[in-house]
Chains A and B, each alone.
Chain A
Amino acid sequence: MNSEKKTIREQLGKALLFFDGGMGTLLQSRGLEAGELPETWNLLHPEVIRQIHREYLLAGCNIVKANTFGVNCFKCKGTPYSVDELVHAGIRLSQEAIDAVRQELDTDRPMYTALDIGSLGKLLKPLGELPFTEAYEAFKEIVTAGTQAGADLILIETVSDSYEIKAAVLAAKENSSLPVIVTMIFDENGKLLTGGDVASVTAMLEGLGVDAVGFNCGLGPEQMKRLLPQLTACCSLPVVINPNAGLPVVIDGNTVYNVAPDEFAGSIKALVEMGAGVVGGCCGTTPAHIEAVVSLCKGMAVKPVTDKELTVVSSYNHAVYFTDKPLIIGERINPTGKSKFKQALREHDMEYIYKEGLAQEERGAHILDVNVGLPEIDEPQLMEEAVCGIQAIIDLPLQIDTSDTAAMERGLRCYNGKPMLNSVNGKKESMESVFPIAKKYGAVVVCLCLDEDGIPETVEGRLRVAGKLVETAAAYGIPKKNLVMDALVLTISTGQENANITLETLRRIRYEMGLHTVLGVSNISFGLPERSRINTAFFTMAMQNGLSAGIVNPSSEPMMAAYYSFNALTGNDDQCMAYIASCPQGADKAQAASTAKDGALSLEDAIVKGLSESAYQATLRLLQQGAESLAVINDRLIPALDVVGKGFEEKKMFLPQLLMSADAAKASFEAIKETMSERGRKSQSKAKIVIATVKGDIHDIGKNIVKTLLENYGFDVIDLGKDVPPETVLETVKAHGVRLVGLSALMTTTVVSMEETIRLLRDNHIDCRVMVGGAVLTQEYADMIGADFYSKDAMGSVRYANDLYEAGAL
């Protein structure tokens, strides 16, 4: 046994191996009831499980999937069994079947037991309710049990959420040294059910260091044939294919799979010829299918696995490749030199960060740099929050940018995809702390060409550091393709040769060393006037000299003009389409003109009509004319909002109009905030209000509408988000001495949590009022659960808060 355990890693991708087939359908045919957890049969009917394994082994398979697919702490809750005992029993039955068959046939055919791990069946945060760390712990429990029980490999299968897959793989890698194979369900378009594509998830899994990847379930062998080229094009690992016996067909209310053993085997043969190295079956396949596959394919050579040498990063849904066509890395999520950004970080204003991200995506960035470092904040915590928050709404891959290794690890760990990491340098200490983290999470690392002696002044000096970085990375197991070199930019205002040195270094790294490159472009003009002139010229020169990715501000028109022009000029823009699309269109110009016209509107008109840009401009004008911000708010902004609010209450105006005005008021506040921060003053708020969507509830648009309106009326809203435990509400209210709490719940099932939250506040004798709202609530219901106020719409909560404020109760 031991020698085999050593060789399975070596065999993967070299000798053709056969998986067994489906288990669930066979169990059903032997009496498994709907709703019964199949893995309980490991203890209730071990002979049945052993017999199925035996049939597959006699059919000729090498790898038996132990009957552990559905075991996890959530599903075990409804049974008298523990994860540990079901997993141990499952592994043991597979081993017993293997031992028996080996003896019976007197064969040296390699036979392995796979610890089979399926989805937890829960959606992870931020979209769902399961925290990443809890998913990790759940998988860890299974991995630990299976490894102790003596499994030969870990198979993570039938998964379709890349984030859950990452939790499972980390649990496997950190708690076991067994080989890890991951097979996923894709649809016919090559998408996971959560939207990821083949390239993005493959990049992530290669980075995490799994041993083989592939497809299972969802599709039949013919559909997988169409999909396999997508995988082999980007994958440098052995490929595993376990299809269903065709697409499911419902006959008489039962799901059946129609592809017969011979036909199935024929398709599998083609899949092996195309590059699959491990083949077997999933739903609907039987020992007969596997027998047909083995007899047809046995002895076939496996197509050698080649390293695709791709430098790639990915988000949860798509991959971005470093090629000869340069990329744009958006630099704006970074507090350096930005007082407003710093203030946002201090105030924990995540929305500010998200807006910066969305704006850069809109302007054409391919990757976003994320730097949230400030001396006085908890950077690791904020990094995690920023990465998760950005990934919840933005599809671009991220570059985790920090010098704090704890923040680095937190950011990389919670990241969904294959991340980019900024940065390591040639100092021993830097390499020793950063490379292990980069290796573990499979990040593409930005390498700065400097070391203990500082930034070398010569091209040769920088190349030497680059060489040292490549060599040291290799010692940590990080291949060249996962390194991107920063040739470093020093301003030409302090050294005439600085640009030339950078450009020549760039050229030689790219074309002589064969590495991809990155630059923080705008440093070149530091200390000079009209910096964008120099920046754009230098950006073009750098791209011409082999720059793979520029860290730039995508909102800078001249920079993006240089970028699109460069691509058009170098034949990297088919029919100049991207260039043309980047040019201001007729409609944009017209809109700009109309905005200019609206710009003359008064603040009141702009708010009543719901025109954000006009409201912003009008506010700036008022402030420039010397108006006090408080007067602008109280005498102009609030009365205008009242007009709309009243119209809404009288049903003369409707929700979209109310919210367009709220958006406009928000823009007006932006102008006020900016001006005040320029004048070195802080804005004042009426009172703090805590709002939350209660535990168990993930629908929070109503709460967000209330938040916007309360902020419009000058309240400082502490938004705890959705799915908020009662304890969090209590702690926050206590910590900030808050006198008003707003709670929302959508469903009858979650109103229970609302009641619990109110009870907890009351039991702790907190002197605060609670207002509630949400689809299923009524005045009676609100009274019953002990709320102080029921708000039937968003304006109601504003009125209530205002009344309390004016009565001095807040």
Chain B
Amino acid sequence: MQSEITEALNRREIYRYLGYRGAVPDETVRQMTEEVIAEMMAVIAPRHIYRIFDCRTEGGRITLRSEDKGAAVLSVRSEKLAVNLERCEKAALMAATIGGGADKLLGRYEVLSMAKASAAQACGAACIEAYCNVLQRRMQRQASGQGFFLRPRFSPGYGDLALETQREIFGVLECTKRIGLTLTDSLLMYPTKSVTAFIGWTTNAQTCHIGSCSTCDNIGCEFRDEQ
């Protein structure tokens, strides 16, 4: 998995998180970033879990049920997520983390060099994104076999999907027990480089399978990628 993540890791993304937008970093910064990436890759321990459910959206409410029993495992209100999951017969709930090693590395850099710490922060963020993309591509293969296409990932905190949804996702997926992901009272995740998300499965062909800035309506975002 490490090598797949390394391959999927997007340098442009890292520099975008570091505030470069389109600009090209100089040699010193590039070299430092590569050092950080190498160290980061040595300490990550990627783990994930996902489950696929029957999905129904009705009047801005999304309900997920086990495919056989019909008992609702999760029910949440969100107009934006409802739009995202429109005409999706199924949806996956996923959780993924690159592990606490990345946070520990960040802590070390904060003592030794804030420049490296900022690079590690960006690199960690890009790393979990890369991991999710790898997982989503795998899921796409599974979905294709059943004639489905995937919608972009949608996480609690996006748009009007309440962060409180995290509690329900953690319950359904047993995130803590299964992949060591914990949720604080203030709904933050630790390890910090982690993602939970809904991924819609639809029989409608899509052009955009993996989420990007173009699907996000936070136009003023500091990190928005215009290309």
Contact = CB atoms under 8 A, between A and B. Distances in A.
A185 interface: yes
Interface in B161-201: 163, 168, 171-172, 176-177, 179-180, 182, 184-188, 190, 192
A777 to B, nearest CB: 12
Given A123-B184, A696-B184, A747 B157 contact: yes
Contacts of B129: none
A536 interface: no
B159 interface: no
Given A656-B29, A656-B115, A701 B184 contact: no
Interface stretch (B1-9, B78-86, B103-111, B203-211): B103-111
Nearest to B223: A775
B190 A123 contact: yes
Contact of B29 (A35, A657, A701): A657
B137 interface: no
Interface string A643-669: 000000001001111011011000000
Range for the number of chain A residues in contact with chain B? 35 or more
Contacts of A34: 71, 73, 171-172
A193 B179 contact: yes
Given A253-B67, A355-B112, A747-B157, A127 B190 contact: yes
Contacts of A129: 184-186
A704 interface: yes
Nearest to B164: A749
A609 B188 contact: no
B100 A217 contact: no
Interface string A186-225: 0000011111000000000000000000000100000000
Contacts of B115: 610, 656-657, 659-660, 662-663
A704 B68 contact: no
Contacts of A217: 177
A659 B114 contact: yes
B133 interface: no
B-side interface mostly: mixed
A705 interface: yes
B23 interface: yes
B25 A701 contact: no
A610 to B, nearest CB: 7
A252 interface: yes
Given A656-B118, A698-B190, A701-B106, A158 B111 contact: no
A252 B163 CA distance: 27
Contacts of B26: 657
A354 interface: yes
B66 A253 contact: yes
A160 interface: yes
A699 interface: yes
B155 interface: no
Contact of B188 (A394, A657, A747): A747
B67 A252 contact: yes
Contact of B28 (A119, A393, A610, A697): A610
A355 B67 contact: no
A659 B168 CA distance: 39
Given A160-B180, A654-B20, A746-B188, A708 B108 contact: no
B63 interface: no
Q: Quick one: which of A33, A195, A394, A609 has the most chain B CB within 10 A? A: A195
A737 interface: no
B212 interface: no
Interface in B105-127: 106-108, 110-115, 117-119, 121
A392 B104 contact: yes
B184 A393 contact: no
B110 A195 contact: no
Contacts of B163: 747-749
B192 A193 contact: no
Interface string A92-125: 0000000000000000000000000001011100
A505 to B, nearest CB: 39
Contacts of A436: none
Contacts of A58: none
B185 A656 contact: no
A570 interface: no
B176 A355 contact: no
A697 B188 CA distance: 7
Interface residues of B, number: 58
A253 B188 contact: no
A656 B32 contact: yes
Interface in A732-771: 746-750, 753
Contacts of B23: 651, 654
Contacts of B66: 252-254
B33 interface: yes
A653 to B, nearest CB: 9
Interface in B37-59: 45, 47, 51-54
Contacts of A699: 188, 192
B18 A128 contact: no
B111 A355 contact: yes
B117 A195 contact: no
B177 A185 contact: yes
A379 to B, nearest CB: 22
Nearest to B181: A193
B152 interface: no
A654 B67 contact: no
B50 to A, nearest CB: 8
Given A358-B111, A659-B118, A663-B114, A250 B51 contact: yes
A351 interface: yes
Contact of A393 (B29, B71, B108, B188): B108
A660 B32 contact: yes
Contacts of A704: 110, 114, 117
A259 B81 CA distance: 38
A355 B112 CA distance: 7
A325 to B, nearest CB: 25
A4 to B, nearest CB: 32
Given A253-B67, A393-B108, A663-B114, A656 B179 contact: no
B19 interface: yes
Nearest to B103: A127
Interface in A693-722: 695-699, 701, 704-705, 708
Contacts of B54: 253
A127 B68 contact: no
Nearest to A254: B66
B114 A654 contact: no
B177 A655 contact: no
Contacts of B45: 191, 195
A42 B180 CA distance: 28
A705 B110 CA distance: 9
Nearest to A612: B113
A191 B117 CA distance: 27
Contacts of A609: 28
Contacts of B103: 127
A397 to B, nearest CB: 16
Interface in B6-32: 18-20, 23, 25-26, 28-29, 32
A660 B111 CA distance: 13
B120 to A, nearest CB: 9
Contact of A122 (B73, B112, B182): B182
A121 B182 contact: yes
Q: Which of the listed residues B25, B65, B100 has the most CB atoms from chain A within 10 Å of its own CB? A: B100
Contact of A358 (B69, B101, B112): B112
Contacts of A708: 114
Nearest to A391: B104
A655 B118 contact: yes
Which 10 pairs show the lowest CB-CB distances between chains A and B? Answer: A193-B180, A696-B186, A659-B115, A252-B67, A123-B182, A253-B66, A660-B115, A393-B107, A252-B68, A253-B67
5 contacts: A34-B171, A192-B180, A193-B179, A395-B104, A697-B188
Given A358-B112, A654-B19, 12 more contacts: A119-B176, A121-B182, A252-B68, A254-B66, A358-B111, A610-B28, A654-B20, A660-B32, A663-B114, A696-B184, A748-B157, A749-B163
